[in-house]
Amino acid sequence: MHKIINSLLETDLYKFSMGQAIYHHFPGYETTWSFKCRNEDVHFTEEMVEEIKHQIKMYCELRFSEEELKYLSSIQWFKKSYIDFLRLWHPRYEDFTFGTNSPCGLTIETNGTWLNTSMYEIPTLAIVNEVYFRMKYDYDKLMLSFKDRLDKKVEKLVSGEYNIGVFSEFGIRRRLSAEAQELAIKELMRDDYKGSKFVGTSNVYLAKKLNIKPVGTMAHEWIMCVGQGNHKHNPAYSNWYALDAWVKEYGVLNGTALTDTITTDCFLRDFKLTYATLFSGVRHDSGSPFEWGDKMIDHYNSLGIDPKTKTLLFSDSLNFEKADEINSYFKDKVKVAFGIGTYIANDTDVDALNIVMKTTACNGMDVAKISDVEGKGMCKNPDYVHYLRRTIAWRMEH
């Protein structure tokens, strides 16, 4: 099979945003990441597992070019010290452990510094996806169905049937293939939409190649590791520690806060006037988007901040129809934007994989995400999840 990942830029922008903050503030943190396939009917064959290992080995041979580093340095918030670090940085195959002892037939774990292991998540998931779909199905037929569905959804944006305002493509981790993702972005890069505007992609490599905006700020790992990786911290204050470190690194730049790592209600206890002012907006990733959005608008109003000056970024399992509903509901109340992934990058006649790679330990201690809904978290130790829930409940009640 051809090489799937061809550049170290071929990852989400927020990996670099978090990477710089990790480099400057938490360079000694160590993390463990674990792969999980949530589909119950998916099985990776031995041949697939070997191909995945081969692809990751080739990924680990990549290095940044000076042209790529020059591109990163053109992004306003990246500093020369971090660019110099990336000049020396490369993935280490020794950080990966592979196995077959799981219901889906594939286990992947990475261990090492947070600086390293954080960077492996997105390329690994992109490789697993593309290997699976190319080896399991007739890929050419899948691409035909992908193109057909893409044409139809773009037609609905052009006609104005869907009016979704500002949106970006977030699909690299679950894309059908690199070819499919690039095709989708090229199709979306048009200026004849009536009520929608495509503004960029989280894939830095394609943003550079196609001369569009790279987008992305922070992920759950930031709040989990900053808030729970220091054993002296009370994890119910994870958001405060994470927001504080982010502001120290970026000030008012690059500020979209993720709310649901240990529940949005707990997040709002720490998202007071200073942070709510400094951050340009917040991102939704679980639970009812309408209830969440209303809650955020009420919170901004309670602080004396005009919600219309802030952006609500929605990114939870979206399609154009859902985005249209959300955009219509919040119109004239607040700025709205969408990050849409699988629906753009892997919409075919076959169901997409629901695969994740999550931080499961930091500095030798369990870490966990307590989402706004059941089923989105991942932790190897149920006792730790119980402890985390108790600390959150104690804080909320007292």
- Residue 6 forms part of a structural domain: no
Look up the CATH number of the domain holding residue 302. Answer: 3.20.140.10
Write down the residue that tokens 């971090």 correspond to.
Answer: 82
Q: How many domains does the chain have?
A: 2
- Residue 5 forms part of a structural domain: no
| Farthest CA pair distance, the chain | 59
Domain match, 90 and 222 both: no
Write down the residue that tokens 């894939």 correspond to.
Answer: 203
Domain match, 113 and 159 both: no
- Residue 58 forms part of a structural domain: yes
- Residue 244 forms part of a structural domain: yes
pTM: 0.96
Digit-by-digit pLDDT tens for the chain (398 residues) are 899 999 999 999 999 999 999 999 999 999 999 999 999 999 999 999 999 999 999 999 999 999 999 999 999 999 999 999 999 999 999 999 999 999 999 999 999 999 999 999 999 999 999 999 999 999 999 999 999 999 999 999 999 999 999 999 999 999 999 999 999 999 999 889 989 999 999 999 999 999 999 999 899 999 999 999 999 999 999 999 999 999 999 999 989 999 999 999 999 999 999 999 999 999 999 999 999 999 999 999 999 999 999 999 999 999 999 999 999 999 999 999 999 999 999 999 999 999 999 999 999 999 999 988 876 777 889 999 999 999 999 999 99
Domain match, 194 and 74 both: no
Domain match, 68 and 148 both: no
> For residues 332, 333, 335 and 341, what is the CA-based torsion angle, rounded to 10 degrees?
-100
Domain match, 181 and 298 both: yes
Do the Cβ atoms of 383 and 275 come closer than 8 Å?
A: no
Q: How many residues does the chain have?
A: 398
Strand locations in the chain (E): 30-37, 96-99, 107-113, 165-169, 196-201, 213-214, 256-258, 281-284, 311-314, 335-340, 355-362, 365-366
Domain match, 196 and 327 both: yes
User: What pLDDT is recorded for position 379?
Assistant: 84
Domain match, 48 and 176 both: no
Domain match, 295 and 231 both: yes
- Residue 107 forms part of a structural domain: yes
User: What pLDDT is recorded for position 380?
Assistant: 85
Listed in sequence order, the residues at least 6 apart from 252 whose beta carbon sits closer than 8 Å to its beta carbon are 278, 280
Q: Which residue segment(s) compose the domain that 280 sits in?
A: 139-345
Comparing CA positions, the residue from 274, 280, 348, 288 lying closest to residue 317 is 288
User: What pLDDT is recorded for position 224?
Assistant: 97
